[in-house]
Chain A
Amino acid sequence: GDSVTQMEGPVTLSEEAFLTINCTYTATGYPSLFWYVQYPGEGLQLLLKATKADDKGSNKGFEATYRKETTSFHLEKGSVQVSDSAVYFCALIMQAGTALIFGKGTTLSVSS
């Protein structure tokens, strides 16, 4: 079935370091792809999304590009801040589907 695989965490970085969190997907069709972020004690917030191949989603300095050839949607940020410490989830929705399918989440911890 359709699924999302993301890199195991935790990821520990110093402030201003470069961030990459890998995400790959398996899908029978052409899904829309999402990154959600969960701050401690809160619900999930949509960080960015891409709906078709080669689309780049971006928000708050984070970027991810929908790569159909490698079935990937890696999350990147050029310079992380302590406030970026959270759990990041990669997810997909199939075109005719309505349920988000999530990866297991990657915990990011940024220290000053």
Chain B
Amino acid sequence: DSGVTQTPKHLITATGQRVTLRCSPRSGDLSVYWYQQSLDQGLQFLIQYYNGEERAKGNILERFSAQQFPDLHSELNLSSLELGDSALYFCASSVALGTGADEQYFGPGTRLTVT
């Protein structure tokens, strides 16, 4: 158990809908990262927040957005869902900014299925 929690575990929704994925980082960790794991794209970095502020952005679609709240939990919002958004979404956290060898601890993931 990494100490990172994600809810829900599974989510099934229809095209065009909007969903929110939630992540609670390990106690004391200030950075939260979101990654997408899909069969065709593999594991891709989406976005990072550090202490409430957006720190880095990867291949995140404009239909997707995230935020980190004062209690440091984070939410990833996915809207106008398409079939291709079906994937496993991981949250990770680290103590600090995550540069160099700062270890990232991964949650169990949320499996999103868009029908």
Contacts and interface: CB of A to CB of B under 8 A. Distances in A.
Interface in B61-115: 90, 92, 97-109
Contacts of B97: 98
A101 B4 CA distance: 20
Contacts of B101: 32, 49, 51, 93
Given A98-B55, A99-B56, A102-B43, A43 B106 contact: yes
Nearest to A89: B43
A98 B107 contact: no
A76 to B, nearest CB: 21
B42 A99 contact: no
Contact of A46 (B35, B103, B107): B103
B45 to A, nearest CB: 4
A49 B45 contact: no
Task: Classify chain B's interface size.
Answer: 20 to 34
Contacts, number: 61
A101 B106 CA distance: 14
Nearest to B103: A46
Interface in B6-58: 31, 33, 35, 42-45, 48, 55-56, 58
A45 B106 contact: yes
A66 to B, nearest CB: 11
Interface string A90-109: 00010111111111110000
Interface of B: 2, 4, 31, 33, 35, 42-45, 48, 55-56, 58, 90, 92, 97-109
Interface of A: 32, 36, 42-46, 49, 51, 89, 93, 95-105
